[in-house]
Each structure stands twice: as structure tokens, then as C-alpha cells.
């Protein structure tokens, strides 16, 4: 397992990794209009000095150049939005984890199986998937180290070891490559334009059968070979299947 010492944070590389990932999702199922690029100079609604009470480092709130999808639409927030509320919106429960100023959430967690908490660490250059299930974390993409080992080495304090140790941890670019590989293998299955399920989530037999039928439709239309994949025909057939099976 590689150590975090060999990883560094780059704002430009991070923005590029997000953009590449969104482009991949568009090639598979996402409508291009769901990806929103910032205007030159950054999102005007994101204040240059951060939101009141956001309490993040310069790198932590410097998201002006980042593209967005419906994952966490910070750019639609008011300039005077309460930063404390934004942290509650995008971070694990504060009773479970104390998130430092250099770490920022970029998803909106609720039920972990539907919207897990994912956080960007601008000090170590890694992404945490909080409470990531083992089958996802045990992919061929190596994780960036062990949080309890970081504590032993004096890199983090004891109060940080618990929640980080309960997370999958990857270098930023590796994290997105890992996600893309799970989509290629159809471990992650797009069911609707903004709904993705996975092969590990607990479901009824009927929904498991529905998921398998959707996977077969993707393969029928050429996935994961992008040169053969017909996104439009695939999406239309998936929608017809879900309508026929009464899946809302």
C-alpha cells in the first residue's frame, strides 16, 4: 500500500480530475447539461473570501474553477449563506467526525448507500469515502495508506484517526479512476438520469432482477466499449424497461 508521503495536492490537477470524471459520466448516461462549467473568474456566487462561518483554508474553499454536477451545487448558494450549514450539508455528522479546515465535502450525504460522504483533503492530496463498503475499497486501485498508521507516524492526531480509518482513502486522480472502473464493470448501474445503484446495496429480489436486466441492456448496446456504445438507444431501452416494470 503506497504511503501518503508520495502524494501531493494540486488544484489544477484536481479540477482536471473532476472534469475528466464528469466527461466519462456524460459518455455513459449523464445529460451534458448536468455538468455546469464556471464562467471565467469563477462562480460569482462563491465569495472570494469564503462564506461566513465556513472556516476552511484557502485551498479548502477555493472551488471557483471547479465544474459542478447535481452532486453538490455550491455555486447556487447565496454569497451570504451560512457556512456552518454548508458544512453540515456536505460532511459526516459532527458527532461522528471532526473535519479539519483543509478538508471539504463535495457530496450531500444522507443514506450512505445512496449518497455517501466524500471529502477532499487539500493537505494530503487524497479523497475520503466515509464508511465505504469493503468491496468497493478492495478494488485493484490501491488506497493511499492507513489512517491509524498516519496517527502512529504523527501525521494526524488521535481524534482524526477514527473517521479516516473508517473511510476508503485514495489519491485524488486514483479515486476517480476507481469510480470509472466500477462503472465500466457495471458494479455501479445508472438506472435513471440522476439515479445510480450498485451491486452491493440491499434490494428486493425484484429490484435485483431489474438491475440485472439494466446491466444486460448496457452490455447489449456495447458498454463499456465507447466506440460501440450507443448511449441514446441504451437510455431509451432502460427507460422502457423501468416503465414496464413499474419502477418509479
* Domain locations along the chain: 4-182, 203-244
Between 60 and 244, residue with greater pLDDT: 244
- Tally the residues of the chain: 248
For 109-137, what is each residue's pLDDT tens digit?
A: 755 445 788 999 999 999 999 998 877 86
What pTM value is reported for the model? 0.87
Could you tell me if 144 and 171 are in contact, meaning their C-beta atoms sit under 8 angstroms apart? yes
Instruction: Judge residue 89's burial from the number of C-beta atoms within 10 Å of its C-beta, 0-12 exposed, 13-18 middle, 19 or more buried.
Output: middle
Distance CA 145, CA 169 (A): 7
Q: Is residue 205 pLDDT above 60, yes or no? A: yes
For 56-112, what is each residue's pLDDT tens digit?
A: 777 766 654 565 554 455 656 666 667 677 777 788 888 889 999 999 888 877 554
The segment with the largest mean pLDDT, out of 29-33, 121-125, 194-198, 212-216, is 212-216
Helix (H) or strand (E) holding 175: helix 172-184
Distance CA 178, CA 237 (A): 27
For 146-191, what is each residue's pLDDT tens digit?
A: 899 999 999 999 999 999 999 999 999 999 999 999 999 999 999 9
Confidence at residue 28, expressed as pLDDT on a 0 to 100 scale: 98
Cα–Cα nearest to 99, from 33, 163, 24: 163
Which cell numbers in the block locate residue 115? 449518497
Confidence at residue 230, expressed as pLDDT on a 0 to 100 scale: 98
Q: Is residue 217 pLDDT above 90, yes or no? A: yes
Mean pLDDT computed over 233-244 = 97
Question: What ranges make up the beta strands (E) of the chain?
Answer: 103-105, 118-121, 126-130, 167-171, 188-192, 195-198
Confidence at residue 21, expressed as pLDDT on a 0 to 100 scale: 94
Phi and psi at 177, nearest 5°, equal -65, -35
Q: Is residue 196 pLDDT above 50, yes or no? A: yes
**Least confident residue range of 15-24, 51-60, 84-93, 205-214:** 51-60
Distance CA 10, CA 59 (A): 10
Secondary structure (H, E, C), 82-143: CHHHHHHHHCCCCCCCCCCCCEEECCCCCCCCCCCCEEEECCCCEEEEECCCHHHHCCCCCC
Could you tell me if 162 and 47 are in contact, meaning their C-beta atoms sit under 8 angstroms apart? no
Confidence at residue 114, expressed as pLDDT on a 0 to 100 scale: 57
Region of 42 please: left (phi>0), alpha (psi -120 to 50) or beta: left
State the distance between the two ends of the chain, measured CA to CA, in whole angstroms. Answer: 42
> How high does pLDDT run on average in the chain?
85
Amino acid at each position: 500500500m503506497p504511503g501518503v508521503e508520495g502524494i501531493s495536492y494540486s488544484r489544477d490537477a484536481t479540477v482536471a480530475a473532476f472534469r475528466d470524471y464528469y466527461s466519462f459520466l456524460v459518455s455513459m448516461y449523464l445529460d451534458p447539461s448536468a455538468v455546469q462549467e464556471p464562467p471565467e473568474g469563477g462562480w460569482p456566487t462563491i465569495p472570494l473570501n469564503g462564506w461566513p462561518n465556513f472556516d476552511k483554508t484557502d485551498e479548502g474553499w477555493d472551488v471557483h474553477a471547479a465544474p459542478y454536477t447535481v452532486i453538490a451545487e455550491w455555486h447556487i448558494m447565496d454569497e451570504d449563506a451560512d457556512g456552518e450549514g454548508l458544512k453540515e450539508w456536505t460532511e459526516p455528522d459532527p458527532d461522528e467526525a471532526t473535519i479539519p479546515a483543509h478538508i471539504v465535502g463535495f457530496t450531500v450525504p444522507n443514506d450512505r448507500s445512496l449518497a455517501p460522504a466524500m471529502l477532499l483533503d487539500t493537505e494530503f492530496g487524497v479523497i475520503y469515502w466515509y464508511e465505504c463498503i469493503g468491496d468497493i475499497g478492495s478494488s485493484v486501485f490501491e488506497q493511499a495508506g492507513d489512517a491509524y498508521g498516519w496517527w502512529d507516524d504523527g501525521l494526524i492526531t488521535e481524534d482524526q484517526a477514527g473517521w479516516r480509518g473508517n473511510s476508503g482513502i485514495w489519491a485524488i486522480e486514483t479515486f476517480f479512476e476507481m469510480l470509472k472502473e466500477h462503472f465500466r464493470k457495471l458494479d455501479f448501474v445508472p438506472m435513471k438520469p440522476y439515479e445510480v445503484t450498485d451491486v452491493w446495496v440491499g434490494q428486493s429480489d425484484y429490484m435485483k432482477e431489474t438491475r440485472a436486466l439494466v446491466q444486460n441492456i448496457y452490455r447489449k448496446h456495447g458498454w463499456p466499449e465507447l466506440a460501440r456504445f450507443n448511449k441514446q438507444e441504451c437510455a431509451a431501452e432502460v427507460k422502457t424497461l423501468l416503465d414496464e416494470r413499474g419502477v418509479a
